[in-house]
Structure 1
Amino acid sequence: MSLNIAVLGAGLMGRLLAVELARSGHRVAVYERGGSDGQTAAAHIAAAMLAPWAESVVSEPVIVELGLASLERWPRIIAALLRPVFFQQAGTLVVWHPQDRDQAIQFSARLRTLDPGLRGGDRVREISGTDIQTLEPALGQRFAQGIYLAGEGQLDNRSLLDALLAQLEASAVALHWHTETAPDHIRADWIIDCRGLGAKPEWRTLRGVRGEVVRVQSSEVGLTRPVRLLHPRYPLYIAPKPGGVYVIGATQIETEDTSPASVRSALELLSALYAVHPAFGEARILELAAHCRPALPDNLPEIRWDGGRLIQVNGLYRHGYLIAPAVMEAALALLRRVAERGGADLESWCAAQPFPSLYRR
């Protein structure tokens, strides 16, 4: 059954859903208040780390489950695109300075609190300085111990957004850029609202959480996988991208302020980066950016059906790339179900799904 479907918002979730809907034979239109470059979306500045175990120490178990499911799906999604997208699954290296050993103890303890099926088995292991030297020669003499989270991954967010755009254009999706709209103003069989903070009038409890990142370029360090530095004040992640580019981030501020990053945040990020490797002192700053991620009170995502023709997807918080494929599949499954059978026995259907906690009505 071919449907006429409007997707509101062309950030990560909107683009993924529109591509999959078009691939399934539906007539799709996308409405986005920003331009095709995606610069108004939080997905544009993200590090795009696919690190479910690293995130488990600060997130609910369902985020780990969604992250593991999504990590399996990302290679297939990327392989089906017309343009190449940088993707790696070389694991995450977690390190700390000797004075912050207590942070590592807490990190390991939190990993052990996960359900046995989520702990990663031998994919989560403590390693020595010699092991670090093997994994990341640039750091081998700087850290005596670490934790290696094998199998975790990352991708290049901007090349992915560009590749999804090319796929939409090749699929004859109707693209409406610089068009701010709301569900009540759209005529379609079904509407999927992925506007994030743009949908705040319909989500009274939605809030923005500010994140700040630095992009630098260095030919002197040579990291090959994401690195996390444990620190009591400014835990840091460093995600290496193609061309000697590194995305560095850590801040998580309860505000919807989208003004440029503060001097304090920049100093803390760059100081922590320098502490990982002094060669970063000669890196060139390409970008210092800030954006707000949409979050609900429990910091968990939700998929809602209004009982009519509207499905809403929101609250991905700081986990967008980590969990997007699994959330997308859950949203598509709900669309198929309510398009075919409406609300009949919907509660029992939701309860039988892989991630029942995602659904709200």
Structure 2
Amino acid sequence: MSSSPLAPGQRIGIAGAGVLGRLLAWHLSRLAHDVSVFDPADAPLPAFDGRGAAGFTAAGMLSPLAELDAAEPDVAGRGWHSIPRWAAVSAELGRRVQPAPHMARLGSLMVAHGPDLGAARRVLARLDQPMPGQPAWALPKPLGATALAELEPGLHGSSGPLHAWWLPGEGHLDTVAMMQALHDDAAAVRWQWRMPVARVEPGALHLADGTVHRFDLVIDARGTGARPALPVRGVRGEVVWLHAPGLGLQRPVRLLHPRHRVYIVPRPGERVLVGASELETEDRSPMSLRTAVELMAAAHSVIPALAEARILRLDTNLRPALPDNRPEVQVRDGLVRLNGLYRHGWLLAPSVVDDALAQMGCPPLPVDDTPSPDRIM
């Protein structure tokens, strides 16, 4: 497909109503295209059964620096591209959808217990040089006990002081609210639920019931459902939802540990998500007792007040990953494929969408280029 502008009024069919499908549908409908989205889910809201869109299960961390622990610099570069796009999208949605989807850019924290300081320093060694797209001011900053207490009073070790580092410029968002808002603010889109797409070809979506829908352009954003057209695999993610009244946590926290990658992310409504980044399995079964205990024990070890939190949900799902664990955009006449968000889905989505839009000859997502509010700290 050439980069000549895509004329308004094109009939566009999107396979998949995950974060990529919804973000594209929302934006393309605002550009006056006639958009239809097909998805096997029963409705736009999550079922939390391990088989819906992976974007609902994700914690929504926008952490380019922290992702360098287990990702290449290009992933971080895409993340720095995406954060101001999410800020602009969130602001746009907030003008028309209530309640507005929550997004915050207050930085994030990495913490380690004293015995794990060596492992933490090995991680931080990957983060102390600016990467492509990274603002010069966005480097990890060590925090003493007093500074940490001022930033997040509830964060302290259960068995001694924590080592802590503040990562400015990072953020997080409420994934469930954002997914719902992207749907609700795209009233012109034809949302076709309970309609799984079995095969995609240029200009046509073949549904599982045998019907064929033809369009000027089709977009395949099905994640693991894109097999066998793409060599995509599922990577299991697991999240514990907690209700923690009075906790007051404002920023995502990552516990640096020799064995675990555990994150703790605040959500509106006094909720907290605790999760682990990845498991190389396509098992969709419920969370095991061992995993639940390990996740909650790790979170409790750095936020003792979580001892009184109530367990709301144990959630699992599969994130789509390509062999190199990087996202991929394929554009040809009549067909666009986007896939491979892996465990960085919300961080990468606007960058991947902008890549596709550029190759389609469409304007990019809106951008909020105001300075990150945490720069003054």
Q: Give the corresponding residue for 2:274.
A: 248
Taking the aligned partners of 1:116 and 1:77, their CA distance within structure 2 comes to 23
2:60 and 2:173 in contact (8 A); partners too: yes
- Which of residues 344, 347, 352 is equivalent to 1:327? 352
Summarize the alignment of residues 137-148 of structure 1 with structure 2, pairs less than 5 Å apart: 137-139=153-155, 143-148=161-166
Counterpart CA distance in 2 for 1:267 and 1:318 is 22
Q: Is the 8 A contact 1:138 1:222 kept in 2?
A: yes
Q: Does residue 86 of structure 2 align to residue 70 of structure 1?
A: no
Aligned position for 1:351: none
Evaluate the alpha carbon distance shift between residue 116 and residue 63 of structure 1 in structure 2; reply closer, same or farther with a 3 A threshold: closer
Q: Does 1:98 align with 2:114?
A: yes
Contact 1:10 1:38 in 2 (8 A): no
CA distance in structure 2 between the partners assigned to 1:246 and 1:220 by the alignment? 11
Write the letter of the residue equivalent to 1:320: G
Alignment deviations for residues 36-68 of structure 1 (CA, whole Å, 9 cap, x no partner): 214410001110010100111211111101000
Contact 2:128-2:139 at 8 Å conserved across structures: no
* Structure 2 unaligned residues grouped into runs of 5+: 1-6, 207-212, 363-377
Q: What CA distance in whole angstroms lies between the structure 1 residues aligned with 2:77 and 2:147?
A: 28
Deviation at residue 4 of structure 1 after TM alignment: 0.5
Query: Does the C-alpha gap of structure 1 residues 29 and 122 become closer, same or farther in structure 2, counting only changes over 3 Å?
Result: closer
Structure 1's 283 and 140: CA in aligned 2 closer, same or farther, altered over 3 A? closer
Q: Which amino acid in 2 is paired with 1:179? A: M
Supply the AA of the counterpart residue of 2:263. Answer: Y
Q: Secondary structure at the match of 1:319?
A: helix
Amino acid at match of 1:152: E
Q: How far 1:116 sits from its partner (Å)?
A: 7.2
Given candidates 151, 157, 168, the residue that maps to 2:169 is 151
Alpha-carbon distance, 1:89 to partner: 0.6
**Number of the residue aligned with 1:196:** 223
Deviation at residue 26 of structure 1 after TM alignment? 0.6
Secondary structure of the corresponding residue to residue 183 of structure 1: strand
Instruction: List aligned pairs for 1:197-216, cutoff 5 A.
Output: 197-203=224-230, 205-216=231-242
Shift of 1:198: 0.6
**Residues 156 and 304 in structure 2, CA contact (< 8 A), matched pair in contact too:** no
RMSD: 1.6
Which residue identity lines up with residue 27 of structure 1 in the other structure? Answer: D
Which amino acid in the other structure matches residue 64 of structure 2?
P
Displacement after TM superposition at 1:119 (Å): 7.0
Are 1:234 and 2:260 matched, yes or no? yes
Alignment partners' CA distance in 1, 2:132 and 2:10: 42
Establish whether residue 56 from structure 1 lines up as the match of residue 68 from structure 2: yes
Conserved in 1, the CA contact under 8 Å of 2:22 and 2:182?
yes
Within 2, Cα distance between the matches of 1:214 and 1:8? 29
Q: Give the match for residue 45 of structure 1.
A: 57
* Structure 1 partner of 2:367: none
In terms of fraction of residues, the more helix-rich structure is: 1
Q: Shift in Å at residue 220 of structure 1?
A: 4.2
Counterpart of 2:186 (choices 155, 168, 177) is 168
CA shift, 1:145, in A, is 2.5
One-letter amino acid of the counterpart of residue 197, structure 1: T
Q: Which secondary structure state, in structure 1, belongs to the residue aligned with residue 186 of structure 2? A: helix
Describe the SS at the equivalent of 2:154: helix
Give the length in aligned residue pairs.
333
> Contact (CA 8 Å) 1:51, 1:153: kept in 2 or not?
yes
Deviations 1:248-273 (A, max 9, x none): 11141111111111112111101101
Q: Distance in 2 between matches of 1:22 and 1:48?
A: 24
Shift of 1:120: 4.5
The structure, 1 or 2, with the larger RCO (C-alpha pairs under 8 Å, 6+ apart) is 2
List alignment gaps of at least 5 residues for structure 1: 338-361
TM-score, length-scaled by structure 2: 0.85
Instruction: Say whether the 8 Å CA contact 2:284–2:316 is kept in structure 1.
Output: yes
Q: Within 2, Cα distance between the matches of 1:44 and 1:144?
A: 31
TM-score by length of structure 1 reads: 0.88
Runs of 4+ in 1 over 6 A off after TM superposition: none
Q: Confirm whether residue 296 of structure 1 aligns to residue 322 of structure 2.
A: yes
Superposed CA offset, 1:173-205 (max 9, x none)? 1111010123242300000110000111211x2
C-alpha distance after superposition, 1:331-354 (max 9, x if no partner): 1111228xxxxxxxxxxxxxxxxx
Letter in 1 for 2:30: R
1:114 Cα deviation (Å)?
Answer: 5.0
Q: Does 1:89 align with 2:97?
A: no
